[in-house]
Every structure is written in structure tokens, then in C-alpha cells.
Structure 1
Amino acid sequence: MGRLDGKTAFITGAANGIGYAVAARFGAEGARVAVADRDADAAAKAVARIGDRARAVTVDIADETAVAAAFADLAAAGWAPDTVVANAAVQLLGQDAQVADLDVDVWRRTIDVNLTGTFLTVKHAVRTMLKYGGGSIILTGSPTGLSGEGNEFAAYSTSKAGIHGLTRTTAAAYAPNGIRVNTVVPTYTETGLVTTLSDDPEARAAIISRIPLGRPGTPADVEGIMVFLAGDESAFATGGLFAVDGGMTAL
């Protein structure tokens, strides 16, 4: 038996990186997995790798009509999710900057996807879970939203700080309805989101030097805590921030 037998999960940004790793692990643990991504081809390829317990959902999380339709279509197909991982995000490296140098269009694009997109995902996850008996919502945060670690990325850091606040308010509001909401905080994780940093030896070494365990994170490092928060073992956990950051936020 898997730890997530009987669960149905909806995971955004699940075609690649952390989202894909979590989707594949959830499938291996017995869950049905809706692989949500705005890249339809990449989502289809991810589903092919995960297997017949997965299905692709093409959605732009910054578009409320699209998000609402995705949840409605899943419910109509008997796939109303009891687990939602709001993971999709952008980090506009080379464009994001300290606040005095930040272009407003870069700010808006980052906030539209990372914060508004997460809000819309959570909003329609809650609406679905209110109809179907509760569930677990997991948001992907960042150390940049907790400390000065992201001082060069004002838009990204602010978006992640907002996500941490959204977790607390939503958890408090819907605990009586059996809906749990938590945030996982990975460290610098080498995925396609951060190739600008990972391809720069000096920048990469500087970041790793601030991680006490001495290495970057990998998508696989995040799977276990996500499984825990999705499953019944974490039934009393809500409103929390779960750091999987190699000790970065302990400094």
C-alpha cells in the first residue's frame, strides 16, 4: 500500500522540476495525479512518464477563468482533488532586481504568476474542497520570503512572502472545514527555473556557501515532506512553514 492511496492530487507547474518530482512521487505512493502546467506538450510528456494514474491539465494559473475551468473539469470527471500543490512560479533572473532598479513590468509579471496565480489556485482548491469534504493544500515558498536572502530579487522575494501570508490566513479561515494549508520552503534548488545562477560558478558557489549542509537542493529533497503533508500522517498540521533548506533559514 502507498502512503497516498485513495488521494487525488492537483499539482501546478508539474511538468518539470520540483512539481514533476512531487507528481511522480505522489503517483508512486498511490495517488491519482493531475499534472497541471501551461505547457501542454511538457505536461503530456510528464504524464507519459508517470503512468496511467496521471492526467494532463493545461492551465495558466494567472487566468482565473482557466483555473476555475480546470477544477470544474476535474470534478466532472470524478477527479475532484483532495490534495492541491500550488507550486508553479517564475523567477525572472537577469530582470528582477533591487527595488530602486526594478522595472514595473517585471514586478507585475512575477506577482501575476507567483502570488496571484497561487491565490487563484488556492481559491478554487478551497471551493472544491468545501464541496467534497476537505483536504490538504500545500504551497511552495522560499527562504527569500523569510529573510534578506533574496535582496537582489525584490519581485520574487515579495511574491514568496505573500505566499507565506496566504498560507496562514487560509489555514486559519478553513480549519473548521477540514481544509489544511501548509507551506514547504525549499532552499536554492537546481531546476530549469534557475539556470542563470546554476550556470554561473561564482554565483552558484556563493549561494551554496550559505547552506549549512553544503550543497544545493534537488527536487527529490522536497518529495518526502510533500507526501507527509498530503497524507493522513499530518492530520494535525496546518498553517505551518516546513523548511527543507539545508539549514539556510537557521542562520
Structure 2
Amino acid sequence: MDTLRIDRRVVLVTGAASGIGHAIARACAAEGATVHLADVSDSVHEAAGKVTAAGSGSVTSHVCDVTDPDAVRTLVDDVTAASGRLDVAFLNAGINGVPSLLQPGGAIDELPFAAWRRVMDVNLDGLFHCLQHCARVMKEQRSGSIVVTASTAGLRAEPRVSYPYVASKAAVVGLVRQASLELARFGVRVNALAPGPVVTNIGGPGPRPEAAVAAWEDSIPMRRWGRPDDITGAALLLASDDSSWMTGGVHVVDGGASALTQIPSTVLPAPAPDAGSTAAGR
């Protein structure tokens, strides 16, 4: 197979300024697709320049906050007005940046609601807005592929990430499966990618603590973190007609990490000692 045949297709990628979204946009452009990059950061314009240099298709960039439903409607309408249709939507925008339950401030009784709400606003509500408007266009044209970035953290408990991230990605999986039921009869496929730990800026810029990096690597049978380019093969497959009978699926790309079905209890926080108790009393 020389190509996954997405040349001449119109592709929208959200969260495209960096990380997995940028890698997917670059891979689509290299295959000859028309690619529209969207991100909340105006660095998306610089990212689009890099994608243009790497590919042969037309590339545009758009600043869009996915938590604003009117902005998302405008984005999708602008893309379809410019290109005449929307063939593929990679709904990738997401954030974390909240302490895990292993970190100070990440316990369920310590986590501020504002931190919870911020992650849910982007990862779940923002996805809903994007899914809603992409589905509106694709239902009318009776074709399309929607690919959502979920996470292995949405498939099982994961103490190394935050409560709202786990909850939002679990909800994303349900939303993808539900939407696939409705949209199948319109010729629109909806799938999710579930990456494991990938080196991106989602947890914030800058180096990670060495102990945390090592702990993640210990949980991955392939013994390394993923790179954004590790996700693009599965993404291109789901965008192409080679996956024409695939919908409602959650496709794991994680170096084998989710095959390890048990997390040792030793990674969990130990209870604080009770100053008022004694060995005899316990």
C-alpha cells in the first residue's frame, strides 16, 4: 500500500499548533490533503507554515477557542466555505495541567472545582461543540470521518493523571460511541484514538521530573514514551477509505501499556499517619 489515500481530501485539525495535532496535520499535508489547522493559540499560524513546508496540499490556519460554540460554528463554516466540503475532522484539542492524585493538591478533597471545570470545558464541552458542527456538515454531505483524541486514561483508572482528565476522556469515549450510532446511516464514521503517554506540552511546558518520566516508562512494555509521529499512522488509517467499515471504535496506540491490566498499589499515596492512634489501638 503506497498511500492511505487522503489526497485531495479536506481535513480540519483542532489543537493543531503543537503535539499530536500538529503531527497529524503535517502527515495529512504530506499525503496531499487540504489541511485547516485550528488552535486557541495564535502560534497556529507559525505551525501552519511548517505544515505547508512539509506537504503538497493547501494549508490554512484559524484561531479558535473550542469552548465557544459560536466560534466553533464559524470555524466549521469558514472551512466548508473555503473548501466546499469537510471530509475529515481530527478533534484533538485538549488540556490537562492539573495535579494528578499522586501530587499535592490533586486529591479528590483538595482539587479546586475551577481546575476541574477548566479541563472539562475544553476536553468534553469543547469536543461536543466541534462534534456537533462537524456532524451538521457531514450529515448533509452524507460522508465524512471524525477522529477524536481520547486517551488510555479514559479506559481505566490512572493515578498518574488528574481526576478531570480521566473523567473527561472517559466521557469522550462514550460520546464517540454514541455519535457513531447516529451518524453511521449518513455515511459518517466516528472513531477515537486512545494514545498512551506521549511527549507533548499537554501537562505544561518544560522538562518533567526524572522520577515521573521513569515511572511512566516502567508502565510501558516498549520501554519508552510515545512521540506525536507514533500516532499519525493510525490517524491516517481512520481518515482514509481503508477504514471504511470502522466506526464506533477506540483504537489504542500506547506501546502496550494498556495490556498491563493491573497498577501496583505501591504507586498510590500512603495514608497519613494518625497521630492519635497506637499500634495496640489499631
CA distance in 1, matches of 2:41, 2:206: 23
Matches within 5 A, 1:197-212: 198-212=207-221
Query: The residue matched to 2:96 in structure 1 has which SS?
Result: coil
**Pair 1:245 & 2:274 matched:** no
Name the CA shift for 1:74/1:197 in 2 (closer, same or farther; >3 Å): closer
Residue identity matched to 1:175: A
Query: The residue matched to 1:57 in structure 2 has which SS?
Result: strand
Encode CA deviations 1:111-162: one digit per residue, 9 max, x unaligned. Answer: 0000000111111010010122220000101111111124651111000001
Encode CA deviations 1:192-246: one digit per residue, 9 max, x unaligned. Answer: 1235795200011001100111100000000000000000000000000110001
- Quick check: which one's helix share is greater? 1
Deviates more, 1:127-136 or 1:239-248: 127-136
Matches within 5 A, 1:141-156: 141-150=150-159, 152-156=161-165
Corresponding residue for residue 5 of structure 1: 7
Equivalent residue in structure 2 for 1:230, among 225, 233, 239: 239
CA distance in 2, matches of 1:196, 1:206: 19
CA distance in 1, matches of 2:208, 2:190: 34
Residue identity matched to 1:50: V
Name the CA shift for 1:150/1:121 in 2 (closer, same or farther; >3 Å): farther
Equivalent residue in structure 1 for 2:169, among 143, 160, 176: 160
CA distance in 1, matches of 2:198, 2:111: 24
**Pair 1:39 & 2:47 matched:** no
Residue identity matched to 2:153: T
Query: The residue matched to 1:77 in structure 2 has which SS?
Result: helix
Q: Which of structures 1 and 2 has the bigger CA Rg?
A: 2
CA distance in 1, matches of 2:85, 2:109: 44
CA distance in 2, matches of 1:173, 1:102: 36
Corresponding residue for residue 22 of structure 2: 20
Percent of aligned positions that are identical: 35
Name the CA shift for 1:196/1:7 in 2 (closer, same or farther; >3 Å): closer
Corresponding residue for residue 114 of structure 2: 105
Contact 1:93/1:196 (8 A) holds in 2: no
Corresponding residue for residue 67 of structure 1: 72
Query: The residue matched to 1:97 in structure 2 has which SS?
Result: coil
**Pair 1:81 & 2:86 matched:** yes
Contact 1:97/1:152 (8 A) holds in 2: no
Point out where structure 2 has 5 or more consecutive residues left out of the alignment.
Answer: 261-282
Name the CA shift for 1:145/1:243 in 2 (closer, same or farther; >3 Å): same
Corresponding residue for residue 169 of structure 1: 178
Taking structure 1 as the reference length, what is the TM-score of the superposition?
Answer: 0.95
Taking structure 2 as the reference length, what is the TM-score of the superposition?
Answer: 0.85
Using the TM superposition, give the Cα deviation of residue 101 of structure 1 relative to its aligned residue in structure 2, in angstroms: 1.9
Contact 1:98/1:152 (8 A) holds in 2: no
Residue identity matched to 2:29: G
Give the aligned CA root-mean-square deviation in angstroms. Answer: 1.7
CA distance in 2, matches of 1:203, 1:133: 46
Deviates more, 1:211-220 or 1:43-52: 43-52
Contact 2:10/2:83 (8 A) holds in 1: no
The number of residues matched between the two structures is 250
